[in-house]
Structure 1
Amino acid sequence: MLDAKWKIFQMAAATCNFTQTAAALGMSQPNVTGQIRKLEQELGVALFIRDGRQLRLTRPGRVLLLEAESLLALSENAVRMARNAAADVLSFQLGATMTAGGYVLPPLAAEFMREHANRRIHLCIANTEEISDKLKKRFFDLALVEGAFDRELFLSRTLLADELLLAGSPRLPFFRGGKVELAELAKSNLPLLLREKGSGTRFYTDRFFREHGFRPERSGRILELNSPDAIKSMLRTGFGVTVISELAVRDELKAGTLAAARFAEGEVRREMNFIYLPNDSLKFNEEFIAYCRRKYRP
């Protein structure tokens, strides 16, 4: 395992405050300060600029943070693999993007663990950009994403095709005919509740809008939220519309609390892919991917 100073440094870089770092790690503030000072002495560089109680990373500190995150991930992975080798129960780390992690992967993972009593799957959910970055640093054994990814870096297998729909309150006139023209959406001046930059849903939404000359950002109509559930909660009040996966609104469409329509200009389709790097968990990755492809039902 890596020296504890690396974890302390990572937390301090995240909080920009030694007191908050100490509280998060269950340490005293003087101990945190002393460990950071020792690390700076060992490296011969200043890692933080002290500005009262607040901290700012120096340039060497920013460079070190990138390496520290990778080293900590490798260290944690090595410990886990060693424990796996000695244990009857094997543990694996999976990443998933919001739609994949919220509506597709959990039931598959649960069913897999019921059928494989010696497997444990830990799931982390974030947007595509964050999941890809953590997978590069080997925080995860495997990830399921619906956004664009580096096909030259990652191995990949497609799980399913997904469609994005315009969704909102059933009281809105958009949803009476089944299809909506972007020109009609532009005239409505309704707020657009969209996922944040870096999400797969946002990537495909922005691309579709650009291809058809729709530029809602110019009118300041876009409101960003990083949670599909938060978006749906606002839609149910009658506020705005969104572009969202059909998987994410399936229950609401059945219940009639939300309505959806396709775009007259064409379908917005994407794939949901498992992505991974060659690693010690390759056998599990292939086993789990095959299981999901066999068991998944739309």
Structure 2
Amino acid sequence: MEISTLKVFIAVAENASVSCASQQLNCVQSNVTARIKKLEEELGVSLFVRKSRGMELSAQGRVLLDHAYQIIDQERQARHAVMSSMEDGGTLSLGSMETAMSVRLPRLLKSFHQLHPKTELSVRTGTTDEMIAQVLKHQLDCAIVGSAVQSEEIIQYPFFRERLVLVSSPGNELSNTLLVYRKGCAYRARAEEWLRREGRLPYTIMEFGTQEGIIGCVSAGLGITLLPMEVAKSLSGELQISELPDEIADVDTYLICNKSTIQTKPMKTLMELASHYGETQAA
């Protein structure tokens, strides 16, 4: 059972499609099919249930997927361990909410890069729920999320307290159309809770993939949104900003990592910088 074959298996499992997996892996579809067939023959079980539209994991496939994630992570951690024997180097994958990426991370990442210029840093954005799941699966080394995590597998460090405000176009502050990220976003959950508390029912949701898209459509009068004050400050001349009740507005964010992940020197540095940055913001 080869590492490369397990990576192919994971890609097919996550995409529920050989063709999509082949595109993700940048290889021909026949190669993916052959690798899966060989793995099934090696294990003596069917890993997938073939359907007219795609495929889904069999019971045995679900068992293998859990172990495959662990094996791939062990390989990655072995590489990390070798690289961490050097004073600097290796790779570090960081997840972040898009709002934090735009206003909080630049200063943090600049300090990190000055201390570890040889470390390859990969940053991706997503919702809080998505990033928690990716940290648990070891697909991210660490992530900045918008809520505390209730899991014994996660270590979390307070990062900063964000203050959310209501953002609307002038004269449109009473709109019942909410412009937000997809489900799993911590700020979206706060926004929906606020609408329910205010009795603004029913309300309409418009989902976006980027902060710029949300702000642009709020400017066009399509609806309202909740944004961190640090983001909203730059919009004060264009949009209307309104305060929210403390229990809705105050959001504690955290830097999280998987307890079983080997903490390399660059990773420890990032955590120390995040803790210091959070203390500075609170001061």
With the shorter chain as reference, the TM-score category is 0.7 to 0.9
The amino acid across from 2:32 in the alignment is V
Aligned to 1:182: none
Q: Secondary structure at the match of 1:95?
A: strand
Residues 147 and 199, structure 1, Cα contact 8 Å, conserved in 2: no
Q: Counterpart amino acid of 1:59?
A: A
Residue 173 of structure 1: how far off its partner (Å): 5.4
1:259 partner amino acid? Q
SS of match in other structure, 2:46: coil
Query: Which residue is 1:180 aligned to?
Result: none
Residues in 2 aligned to 1:93 and 1:71: alpha-carbon distance in whole angstroms:
18
Aligned partner of 1:195 among 163, 174, 181: 181
What is the letter of the counterpart of residue 221 of structure 1? T
State yes or no: 1:289 paired with 2:271.
yes
- Change in Cα spacing, 1:237 to 1:209, as seen in structure 2 (3 Å) is closer
Give 3-state SS (helix, strand or coil) of 2:110's partner: helix
Could you tell me which runs of 5 or more consecutive residues in structure 2 were left unpaired when the two chains were aligned: none
**Is 2:16 the partner of 1:16?**
yes
Amino acid at match of 1:140: L
TM-score (norm 2): 0.83
Q: Which residue of 1 aligns with 2:34?
A: 34
Moved over 6 A (4+): none
Partner of 1:242: 225
Superposition deviation, residue 285 in structure 1: 4.1
1:268 aligns with 2:253: no
Tell me the percent identity.
Answer: 25
8 Å contact 2:157–2:275 — kept in the other structure? no
Written as runs of structure 1 = structure 2, the 5 A alignment for 1:127-138 is 127-138=127-138
Match runs of 1:74-89 below 5 Å: 74-85=74-85, 88-89=88-89
Instruction: Tell me if structure 1 keeps the 8 A contact 2:16–2:56.
Output: yes
**Deviation by residue 1:197-254 (Cα, 9 ceiling, x = unmatched):** 21111233334445x36364xx25122334322211211211111122223333222x
| 2:158 partner SS | strand
Partner SS state of residue 104, structure 2: helix
Distance 2:5 2:119 in 1: 32
The one-character-per-residue Cα deviations of 1:52-76 (angstroms, maximum 9, x if unpaired) are 4632333333443344334323322
TM-score (norm 1): 0.80
**Is 1:225 matched with 2:208?**
yes
The residue number in structure 2 matching 1:214 is: 199
Aligned to 1:205: 191
* CA 1:119–1:264: 2 relative to 1, 3 Å: closer
**Residue 280 of structure 1 aligns with which residue?**
262
| Counterpart code for 2:22 | A
Q: Distance in 1 between matches of 2:96 and 2:207?
A: 20
Cross-structure match for 2:65: 65
**Distance (Å, rounded) in 2 between the aligned partners of 1:69 and 1:294:** 33
State the shift of 1:257 in Å. 2.5
Q: Distance in 1 between matches of 2:182 and 2:148?
A: 15
* Offset, 1:167: 0.6
Letter in 1 for 2:96: A
For residues 253-264 of structure 1, the aligned pairs below 5 Å read: 253=236, 256-263=237-244
CA distance in 2, matches of 1:70, 1:81: 16
Distance between the aligned counterparts of 2:88 and 2:203, measured in 1?
55
| Counterparts in 2 of 1:107 and 1:72: CA distance versus 1, 3 Å | same
**What SS does the aligned partner of 1:280 have?**
coil
Report if the CA contact (8 A) 1:100-1:146 is conserved: no
Q: Distance in 2 between matches of 1:195 and 1:29?
A: 33
Q: Is the 8 A contact 2:172 2:221 kept in 1?
A: no
Instruction: Indicate yes or no: 2:163 matched with 1:163.
Output: yes
Pick which of 122-131 and 107-116 moved more: 107-116
Residue 264 (structure 1) shift:
6.0
Q: Structure 1: any 5+ residue segments left out of the alignment?
A: 175-184
